[in-house]
Amino acid sequence: MAEIFKNKGTALVIAFLIMGVLMILGVYFLSFTLTEFRIAKSQTVGTQTYYLAEAGINEAIWKLKYDDEWSTCFTTSSVAYNCDCTTATWTASSIINLTPNSTTTTAIISSECARGEITATSTIGLAGGKTAQRVVKTTVYKSLASPTAGAAVFSGGASENIDIKASKILVYGNLFSNNHINIKYLSQVEAYATSTGEGKILAEGNYIKSDYSTVIAYAICAKNKCWPSTTTCSCVTNPEDFQECSEVGAGRCPPKGLATPIVDFDSDSQYSFKERASSTEAAHQCSNTCNGGTCWCDGEPCWGNNKCLLDDDDFEDLLWAAGQGGTLTLGSTSTPTIVYVTGPIELRGGRHLVVNGALVAEDNIKIGARYKWKGDKGFSQITVNRPTETTVSGLLTKRKIDFGLYSSFTTTTITGVVYANDEISLVSMPKYFRVRGGIIGRKLSFTSVLKWFEFILDDTIIRYGLGWKDELGHDITPTYSPIITIEHWEETY
Amino acid sequence: MKTQRAFTLTEMIVAITIFVLIVVAVFSAHTLSQRAYREGERAAEISQNGRVILERMAREIRQAKELVTNLSYSETEATSSLEFEDGHIPIPSRYQDLGSEYYYIRYHIPAGTQDLERQYRVYCFDSCDFTNCQPQSATCTNVCSSYHRWNATQETTPTSTHPCVLEDKIIGEYLTGLGFWGSSVISVSTTLEKEDKSLNLKTKVYGRNL
């Protein structure tokens, strides 16, 4: 080893080696410095661009709620704005300049009605003509709103009430009145939660209960009642659904008023009940049977056997043909139909009417209000079936529905919507009465005496029953929740 | 006597000069990199503080029920503090037995500090009593006899409410500027500084209940 250092030029080599090491160190430190500088700069600008992009997203969500064009085109069609969410995608954009050297461009592209993707791109100008950019994407949508605000029992008349007298009522969902709710004469009302109705008793007006009646509910929210608390009544969490929340301290927490959901009975639209019944009839898909076979009228097959669009006389002929103790079946489980009657319907004289689908009338519907019909007599009965998941089912009228003293000889089961533009009255029904779907009227009167009325909320059944969905499952008149849901977000660079 | 050869003076001077130059260069580079590293740390720290501040405020403003502070529409007239009614339900929490329907949150920078303070408070007509509402206690009750909205009035004296601060917490540092303006979409501007580093963050928050 010592020999190496005796050679000439050794010092020079060692010097070069040491200098080389020092140079490498120097270059490393310089590189480290530059990297740190870039990281610091990037972090700063990255944070700034992120929050500017977030500002764009917030601005877009506000526009979806309050800007006329954005809110209209997001969920419906408009000639003024040349958009139609059902047939074409809709796009819109806006630009905000929150800081002098920055731009945030927000764009929305709707993929279908009430669903779209918001993209906010923010850029900040840097020295040397460079720019920093951040892109934030958010998917937003609106859910279909419950047609009855989560109510299985719904009264929409502004000056009408829900009157419950000497009745036992079991509700799975909410009970809603657009005016007062009166519970009297030893009534027993129980409301329990479902997936969309919390089991509340909601009255836009007053809640009046007699001392001897009992009520079980998740909450009672009315103009004069806020039980057990404003929090339970959702005044705190959902102020959009409630009015006068500023006065919750005074025990006032009524829900906002809601009108009766609209049903298209007989317009020229292909989706009105009358037109749908007519087109089913034209397609030869209507089939009404008496006691499992053909209905005979005066020795000949009844005119209404293969009809879905009938007048009240034709429908009465079918009922008469069924005979005392007989059954008239509208449609079948394999081919459910909408039967539209252009007059009143009265079920009496010991008939059983089975509806596979929907029975719609332009005038009053009376079930078991009278015991006798000419020479026939007996308790009558109606059953409404919903054979498939896309069947329009229920009992609907432009006027009143009246279930009377002779309206059942066994449990009444209606899987569909019971809907009346006017009053629905259920008086002293002799047997258990069950509706899966909902009961909707301008005014509701219940007097059950001994038997229970059971109402189970099902928003899907209500949507089909009101004719808001067709047999293929398409939404005809969708109503969306006011809440904009943010489904997913991601950041890209 | 055998003569011994050595480096000349010139050689020595040149060698030492080169060595010193290289050492100085390397040392300078090292110092520079250290300074850059510290600057990076400061940038990260104020950036992190900025993120925490904006995320916290955005979450609470988004759910706010009512603004107490009257905001202007332009940035030039922005206010440096913001108070609003809390839209979150304080249950379960230490306030679940307090009995108030109204809780308010106020963000501001106390004078002489660079901290963002978050006050959680209620409004009362009578004086505040914190005997049963100590900061370290798990429950908080009986701060005053009744709780009201911030702008409630009564006919007897005192005719207007005053705030009782239940909590007073620092949620961010290095804040030298804070501004709020706008209405339902509230614009927020924050300026953070630490030594020579500064960061200005601006965003907008949509208050879904405002």
Q: What is the pLDDT of residue B35?
A: 86
* Residues A69 and A166 both lie in one domain: no
> How sure is the predictor about A327, in pLDDT bands with cuts at 50, 70 and 90?
very high
* Residues A160 and A179 both lie in one domain: yes
Cross-chain CB nearest to B185 (options A39, A58, A246): A58
Task: Give the count of beta carbons closer than 10 Å to the beta carbon of residue A7.
Answer: 9
Quick check: bond before B158 cis, omega within 30?
Answer: yes
Q: What is the pLDDT of residue A248?
A: 47
Contacts of B39 in chain A (CB under 8 A): 36-37, 40
Q: Is B76 part of any domain?
A: yes
Interface contact B149, partner A, CB < 8 A: yes
Helix-strand-coil percent breakdown of chain A, rounded to 5? Answer: 20, 40, 40
Nearest residue to A438 (alpha-carbon basis) of A187, A176, A190, A151: A151
Per-residue pLDDT of chain B (210 residues; tens, 9 = 90+): 556 677 788 888 988 898 888 889 888 888 888 888 888 888 889 999 999 999 999 989 988 888 999 999 888 999 999 999 988 766 557 888 888 888 999 999 999 999 999 999 999 999 999 999 888 888 889 899 989 989 888 888 888 999 999 989 999 999 999 999 987 799 999 999 998 889 999 999 998 877
Structure tokens at B127: 């004086």
**Contact at 8 Å (CB) between A493 and A133?**
yes
Give me the domain span that covers residue B61: 46-121+164-206
Nearest residue to A122 (alpha-carbon basis) of A67, A60, A37: A60
Q: How far is A250 from chain B (nearest CA, A)?
A: 11
**Average pLDDT of span A3-9:** 66
Cross-chain CB nearest to A237 (options B36, B54, B89): B89
pLDDT in tens, A225-284: 888 877 677 665 566 666 655 454 556 788 888 888 889 999 888 889 999 999 999 999
Distance CA(A351)–CA(A378), nearest Å, equals 8
Say which range, A34-43, A193-202, A451-460, A474-483, has the weakest mean pLDDT.
A474-483
Q: Is B83 part of any domain?
A: yes
Q: Is B183 part of any domain?
A: yes
- The pTM (predicted TM-score) of the whole model is 0.68
**Tally of structural domains, chain A:** 3
Q: What is the overall mean pLDDT for chain A?
A: 87
Q: What is the pLDDT of residue A151?
A: 93
Tokens 């089939």, located at residue: A287
Q: Is B169 part of any domain?
A: yes
Interface contact A249, partner B, CB < 8 A: yes
Distance CA(A436)–CA(A142), nearest Å, equals 26
* Residues A435 and A303 both lie in one domain: yes
Q: What is the pLDDT of residue A470?
A: 79
| Disruptive mutation site among A18, A31, A36, A42 for chain B (greatest number of B CBs within 10 Å) | A36
**Contact at 8 Å (CB) between A419 and A396?**
yes
* Residues A335 and A453 both lie in one domain: yes
> How sure is the predictor about A473, in pLDDT bands with cuts at 50, 70 and 90?
confident
Top-ranked range on mean pLDDT: pick from A50-59, A472-481, B154-163: A50-59
* Residues A241 and A135 both lie in one domain: no
* Residues A303 and A373 both lie in one domain: yes
SS3 A253: coil
Structure tokens at A227: 């039980």
**Average pLDDT of span A173-183:** 94
Structure tokens at B196: 């020579």
**Average pLDDT of span A89-112:** 86
**Average pLDDT of span A410-414:** 91
Q: Where are the alpha helices (DSSP H) in A386-487?
A: 459-465
Q: What is the pLDDT of residue A4?
A: 61
What are the residues facing A443 on neighbouring strands?
Answer: A423
Distance CA(A328)–CA(A322), nearest Å, equals 6
* Residues A36 and A165 both lie in one domain: no
Q: Is A263 part of any domain?
A: no
Whether residue A58 and residue B205 make contact (CB cut-off 8 A), yes or no, is yes
Q: Is A161 part of any domain?
A: yes
B window 13-72, beta carbon within 8 A of A: 15, 18-19, 22-23, 25-26, 29-30, 32-33, 35-37, 39-40, 43-44, 47, 50-51, 54, 58, 65
Task: Give the count of beta carbons closer than 10 Å to the beta carbon of residue A220.
Answer: 23
**Tally of structural domains, chain B:** 1
Interface contact A481, partner B, CB < 8 A: no
Domain boundary among A215, A250, A285: A250
* Residues A133 and A200 both lie in one domain: no
Structure tokens at B82: 């913001």
Q: Is A23 part of any domain?
A: yes
Residue of B nearest to A45 (CA): B199
Instruction: State the count of interchain CB pairs (< 8 A) between A and B.
Output: 116
Whether residue A231 and residue B87 make contact (CB cut-off 8 A), yes or no, is no
Query: What string of H, E and C letters represents the secondary structure of A120-184?
Result: EEEEEECHHHCEEEEEEEEEEECCECCCCCCEEEEECCCCCCEEEECCEEEEECEEEECCCEEEE
Q: Is B95 part of any domain?
A: yes
* Residues A244 and A298 both lie in one domain: no
Cross-chain CB nearest to B39 (options A25, A40, A48): A40
**Contact at 8 Å (CB) between A427 and A451?**
no
* Residues A309 and A437 both lie in one domain: yes
Contacts of B37 in chain A (CB under 8 A): 32, 36
Q: Is A265 part of any domain?
A: no
* Residues A303 and A424 both lie in one domain: yes
Interface contact B187, partner A, CB < 8 A: yes
Tokens 């009278």, located at residue: A370
Q: What is the pLDDT of residue B91?
A: 55
Interface contact B80, partner A, CB < 8 A: no
Interface contact A313, partner B, CB < 8 A: no
Q: What is the DSSP annotation of A346-396? A: EE-SS-EEEEEEEEEESS-EEESS-SEETTEES--EEEEE--STT---EEE
Q: Which residue has the higher pLDDT, A493 or B178?
A: B178
**Average pLDDT of span A369-377:** 92
* Residues A300 and A437 both lie in one domain: yes
Residue of A nearest to B19 (CA): A19
Distance CA(A273)–CA(A278), nearest Å, equals 8
| Burial group, residue A56, by CB count within 10 angstroms (0-12, 13-18, 19+) | buried
Q: How far is A443 from chain B (nearest CA, A)?
A: 33
Q: How far is B8 from chain A (nearest CA, A)?
A: 14
Contacts of A25 in chain B (CB under 8 A): 26, 29-30
Whether residue B33 and residue A33 make contact (CB cut-off 8 A), yes or no, is yes
Q: What is the pLDDT of residue A23?
A: 83
Q: What is the pLDDT of residue A78?
A: 85
Q: Is B7 part of any domain?
A: no
> How sure is the predictor about A493, in pLDDT bands with cuts at 50, 70 and 90?
very low
Distance CA(A8)–CA(A14), nearest Å, equals 12
Whether residue A230 and residue B187 make contact (CB cut-off 8 A), yes or no, is no
Percentage of chain A beyond pLDDT 70 is 92
Q: Is B108 part of any domain?
A: yes
- Taking the alpha carbons at both ends of chain B, their separation in whole angstroms is 103
Quick check: bond before B92 cis, omega within 30?
Answer: yes
pLDDT in tens, A110-144: 888 888 899 999 999 988 888 899 999 988 888 77
Q: Is B192 part of any domain?
A: yes
Q: What is the pLDDT of residue B139?
A: 87
**Average pLDDT of span A20-46:** 84
Go through chain A and tell me how many residues it has. Answer: 493
Whether residue A30 and residue B54 make contact (CB cut-off 8 A), yes or no, is no
pLDDT in tens, A179-200: 999 999 889 999 999 888 889 9
Give me the domain span that covers residue A128: 7-144+483-492
Interface contact B194, partner A, CB < 8 A: no
Q: What is the DSSP annotation of A79-117? A: TTTTEETTTS--EEEEEE-SSTTEEEEEEEEEEETTEEE
